[in-house]
Structure 1
Amino acid sequence: MLDTHGRKYVQPIIGHTAKRMIQLGLTPNQVTWAAFIIGVTTGGFIYFDMPMIAVLVLWLSGYLDAVDGSMARMKQQSSAWGTLLDITFDRIVELSVIVGLAMRFPQAAFLLLLLTSSIVFSMTVFLTVGALSEKKGMKSFYYQAGLAERTEGFILFTIMIMVPNWLLWTTGLFLLVEIFTAMQRMLEARRLLKE
């Protein structure tokens, strides 16, 4: 929801960074790889009890993830390969957070497994609708908005990392939000794909 409705407020900052990266001679895919490499370290920082650094690298990774798309659109270099890298790397970064939390706090492992399952469910609907829909958005596929988008996930991950005493409650909330989002997307898909 925040990505869909709030992007216009932060896009000038993202766009400025994208221009700087282009001036440095970087390609969108290079920034995608940088975002991935930075983001995938999050789980390790969680496991080794460095929550501030974990949150910092998570958000830096997310920011660069927004910058790479802006670069691709500015340079008119959006590609199916770039989209595949972007979506795949996003999920691996999220898995890094979940695995780091499960290793650091094994008492929450089962609930984190359920959270992972709900993310798979929601992303399956999201990607299938994107592949089947003839509509295209700003991205190279149809982007199905929902209650839980990447920013909401990062906010919940941040709380999970920074306030481990609330981990079970926050994970449960995240699980419910993901299930709600998946169902929201299913209902929209039913309408879209019947047209």
Structure 2
Amino acid sequence: MLNNFRDSLKPHLEKLGKCFASTGLSPNFWTSVGLGFAFLASIAYGMNLQHPHYAAIAGGIFLLISGFFDVVDGQVARFTKKTSKRGGFIDSVFDKIAEVAIFLGILVGNFTEPYLVFLAITMSLLVSYSRSRAESLGIKLQGIGIGERAERLLVIALIGMIGFMPYAVIIVIIIAAITFIQRIIVTSKNIQD
């Protein structure tokens, strides 16, 4: 859903790409930085039992920074004209690693029932898999659905930071399930047998 705002944000995103490209560092470097912050978020969430007042806030901040660098890597690749299949593959795989790490931190931090975390991970991965599989069949699904990765992680970061992580996880399950169904419908309608 947030991808639908990309055109209106394009001038700002191009400036962002130019700024970070001026460092001379590769898009894959920024992808790795984003993954690093996702790991920090996971560690912070995992420390909830020891530091219940700060874990969700620190985790949310690290998660938002991770999301920022997830935008940066793509913008640097476009600005420097270094978009590649390898870079896209690495970005996609690192995104999934980051997402699983975040939920693992939430699980270890005992924010909510384990089965809810398992459902959130499962639905999130099914959303990603459905897009990947559809695109292998020539059907574009970017922007299809109410709960892509960016939306899901924003829900975790922001709602978690205000102390309602169990509700954040439930919201992620719901929007991921709806998105998965939306993608199945769109793919089924557009598939060529």
Whether TM exceeds 0.5 here: the answer is: yes
- Go from structure 1 to structure 2 and tell me whether the alpha carbon gap of 1:90 and 1:14 turns closer, same or farther (over 3 Å shift): same
Q: Counterpart of 1:109 in structure 2: which amino acid?
A: P
Take 1:18 and 1:39, find their aligned partners in 2: how far apart are those partners? Answer: 21
- Go from structure 1 to structure 2 and tell me whether the alpha carbon gap of 1:107 and 1:72 turns closer, same or farther (over 3 Å shift): closer
Q: CA deviation at 1:143?
A: 2.7
1:65 to 60, 67, 70: 70
Q: Which residues of structure 1 form unaligned runs of 5+?
A: 136-141
Structure 1 match to 2:17: 18
Listed one character per residue, the Cα deviations across residues 127-160 of structure 1 (whole Å, up to 9, x for unaligned) are: 101121166xxxxxx6352111133112211245
Instruction: Say which is worse superposed, 75-84 or 43-52, in terms of deviation.
Output: 43-52
Quick one: percent identity of the two aligned structures?
21
1:81 to 86, 96, 102: 86
Give the TM-score taking structure 2 as reference length.
Answer: 0.87
Take 1:12 and 1:42, find their aligned partners in 2: how far apart are those partners? Answer: 29
Q: CA deviation at 1:6?
A: 1.8
Take 1:189 and 1:89, find their aligned partners in 2: how far apart are those partners? Answer: 25
Give the TM-score taking structure 1 as reference length.
Answer: 0.86
Q: Is the 8 A contact 2:46 2:108 kept in 1?
A: yes
Q: CA deviation at 1:25?
A: 0.8
Q: Which residues of structure 2 form unaligned runs of 5+?
A: none
1:118 to 108, 119, 123: 123
Q: CA deviation at 1:106?
A: 6.2
- Go from structure 1 to structure 2 and tell me whether the alpha carbon gap of 1:113 and 1:134 turns closer, same or farther (over 3 Å shift): closer
Q: Is the 8 A contact 2:30 2:70 kept in 1?
A: yes
Compute the RMSD of aligned alpha carbons: 2.0
Q: Is the 8 A contact 2:111 2:166 kept in 1?
A: no
Take 1:132 and 1:150, find their aligned partners in 2: how far apart are those partners? Answer: 21
Q: Is the 8 A contact 2:21 2:76 kept in 1?
A: yes
Q: CA deviation at 1:107?
A: 4.6
Take 1:160 and 1:109, find their aligned partners in 2: how far apart are those partners? Answer: 18
How many residues are matched? 187
SS of residue matched to 1:72 = helix
Is 1:7 aligned to 2:6, yes or no? Answer: yes
Q: CA deviation at 1:180?
A: 0.8
Take 1:38 and 1:170, find their aligned partners in 2: how far apart are those partners? Answer: 20
Listed one character per residue, the Cα deviations across residues 106-143 of structure 1 (whole Å, up to 9, x for unaligned) are: 652111101111112211111101121166xxxxxx63
- Go from structure 1 to structure 2 and tell me whether the alpha carbon gap of 1:59 and 1:184 turns closer, same or farther (over 3 Å shift): same
Take 1:31 and 1:148, find their aligned partners in 2: how far apart are those partners? Answer: 24
Is 1:143 aligned to 2:142, yes or no? Answer: yes
- Go from structure 1 to structure 2 and tell me whether the alpha carbon gap of 1:145 and 1:91 turns closer, same or farther (over 3 Å shift): same
- Go from structure 1 to structure 2 and tell me whether the alpha carbon gap of 1:168 and 1:55 turns closer, same or farther (over 3 Å shift): closer
